[in-house]
Structure 1
């Protein structure tokens, strides 16, 4: 399993190493790299929690912007996360995190796919992001339904950013001090 370097070493790491760290914590996302690499180069983070908090602040700044380009960048970052229940998931971490979502029956899988489609119709340009954290498919689908019914794009962006950062914190905890 891959491990993370000490966060204090990041300002001196190569772009390739920094990209690898970001891709492990979040999902591979060129727009996230573009906005985050300069911060990783210019600040020393005492912990991954502090680093993720800084990324959270960057993403929330995009979310409250009135500039359509900023909102588009945020959408691209959030859409780097795979749809829940998708058969083809590129990220090893996402595959593990979503494993229990693929244990239900075909009817549940179809309902989840329909919820993904409905979500993306209600929130064009966004993808449902949630910190699954061991929850079963029905519980996750209930959360998805509540968020669709709320139909509040600003709240949705905030929830997706928070979920993305919660996922990153969980990954950081699992990937620190792991023997390569």
Structure 2
């Protein structure tokens, strides 16, 4: 099987064949599930090459376990922790104005996931931007990540305020990893469903 065609409709290869694909096809698959980041590629490639998985959920759970281990065992300011923060920081800021502005490039998945957070009430949009800044000042190197899953801006902002007030960077690492993996599972489910419907 050849590498994924970046101009084709996004699809996931059969999980049973993933370990046999070229690196470029594996990293393209990871980029569909997560936001593109070379740090995740370097973590996941050896795992995918040496383990077999019965489903994409199983693969995502395995990667989540690896990320949680890094978060709990690796010292602050180490290379491992910096790589973890690069992975978590690959998700775009919630409600960022538009793709391409303020350095925000959104994947197609992120655009769809965040569409209800854009536009609308300008005061809410400003408050969301302020909370993003406050969050990143409270937790240097991290970016607020949540599985939006249809939640509105008001619910998201309440959660941001709660997490900022809590002020626990270790919990933020865990919540960010969990949210990133919840998003990846949701994306996998949607991509697999659309492939089934196309047959």
Deviates more, 1:145-154 or 1:81-90: 81-90
1:110 counterpart = 2:120: no
Distance (whole Å) between structure 2 residues aligned to residue 33 and residue 20 of structure 1: 9
TM-score with structure 2 setting the length? 0.88
TM-score with structure 1 setting the length? 0.97
Distance (whole Å) between structure 1 residues aligned to residue 28 and residue 84 of structure 2: 20
Distance (whole Å) between structure 2 residues aligned to residue 104 and residue 119 of structure 1: 22
Distance (whole Å) between structure 2 residues aligned to residue 104 and residue 61 of structure 1: 40
1:164 counterpart = 2:172: no
Q: Partner residue of 1:94?
A: 110
Distance (whole Å) between structure 2 residues aligned to residue 19 and residue 110 of structure 1: 35
Q: Partner residue of 1:119?
A: 135
- The structure with the larger Rg is 2
Gaps of 5+ in 2: 1-8, 100-104
- Deviation (angstroms), 1:43: 1.2
Gaps of 5+ in 1: none
State the secondary structure of the residue aligned to 1:98: helix
The 5 A counterparts of 1:16-35 are: 16-35=24-43
Contact 1:75 1:125 in 2 (8 A): yes
Q: For 1:83, which of 93, 100, 103 is the aligned residue?
A: 93
- Deviation (angstroms), 1:80: 0.3
Superposition CA RMSD, Å: 1.2
Distance (whole Å) between structure 2 residues aligned to residue 32 and residue 108 of structure 1: 33
- Deviation (angstroms), 1:106: 1.2
